[in-house]
Amino acid sequence: MSNRAMKTAIGIAKRLMRLLCVILLVMAGSTALVRIAPGYLSDAREMDARYASEARARLATEAGQSHSVLQMLEIEVGGWVRGDAGISRQFDVPVSELIMPRLAVTGSLISRSILLAWILAVCASILASAGRKPSPLWQTPATALMAIPTAAMATVCILADTGGPVLVMALLLAARDFKFLHRALRKALLDTHVLQARAQGLGSRQLLTMHIMPSILPQLSALISLSIVTALSAIVPVEVIFNVPGLGQLAWNAALNRDLPVLLAITLIMALAVTASGALSSESLDWKSA
């Protein structure tokens, strides 16, 4: 085996080990936090005489299995080994049956929001960076949008009967992406080779495609990871307020009902999405530097 192939194999092994460590830490941390949360073994059905005895019997069984976090973790890992990710405490069905349909809904919402956000952010950044002394007023809309909580923005859209979840998430992402892109463009415009190309009479389109965009591509790959993380952080309030049947809404319902298997599955999916986006970003940076 050549040295290059060996280095590639070692790099892949390191990434797989890192991913495995992330999964184990997420599972252990989520299980511990849910277990020590107040009212974990409570059940709303205890208040209903029709289900009180059944609920108490089920809670007694869960209490017997929840003496230690390690025992709970063993049960959850067993569910993932079987392939069903455990049994939902709230719906009494395999978690995989709840996750898969909602995963497609959330994935579509996030992808459309990121696409629209990038279109808005790139167009606004190019306009704001035009000229030798761009007006600081271009920063005002982005600053205002960043100051508005996601839930408040979604509530305003519902009250005004305008917009939807894609628009709210796109505005949230575009405001943050604009700040990043605007700084990157302004820095690129002051590079020596760009100033020389401008002095030689190159047009704005040629400057952008031949000199500016290639110089900021590594930073754009990092921005993709940031966009995904920001979108995941906003998915719960957006889906709950707009009643979107996605992972965010399912996570909210699972938290209200102390549904550990569902919470653990969604947390793992989000952790894997963040880890994967970060790995792709670092790979892109390594490839550009090479």
Domain-embedded: residue 230:
yes
pLDDT higher than threshold 90 for residue 246: yes
What is the tally of structural domains in the chain?
A: 2
pLDDT of residue 1: 52
165 and 65: one domain? Answer: no
**Greatest mean pLDDT among 69-83, 97-111, 171-185:** 97-111
247 and 284: one domain? Answer: yes
111 and 73: one domain? Answer: no
66 and 99: one domain? Answer: no
pLDDT of residue 287: 47
Domain-embedded: residue 202:
yes
pLDDT of residue 112: 93
Domain-embedded: residue 87:
no
State which residues form the domain around 224.
95-289
pLDDT of residue 245: 92
Q: What is the mean pLDDT of the chain?
A: 76
Q: Which of residues 54 and 254 earns the better pLDDT score?
A: 254
CATH number of the domain at 159, please: 1.10.3720.10
Q: What is the DSSP string of the chain?
A: --HHHHHHHHHHHHHHHHHHHHHHHHHHHHHHHHHHSTTTT--GGGGSTTTHHHHHHHHHHHHHH-SSHHHHHHHHHHHHHHTS--B-TTT-SBHHHHHHHHHHHHHHHHHHHHHHHHHHHHHHHHHHH-SSS--GGGHHHHHHHHHS-HHHHHHHHHHHT---HHHHHHHHHHHHHHHHHHHHHHHHHTSHHHHHHHHTT--HHHIIIIIIHHHHHHHHHHHHHHHHHHHHHHHHHHHHHTT--SHHHHHHHHHHTT-HHHHHHHHHHHHHHHHHHHHHHHHHHHHHH-
Give the pLDDT band of residue 50 (cuts 50, 70, 90): low
109 and 43: one domain? Answer: no
pLDDT higher than threshold 80 for residue 207: no
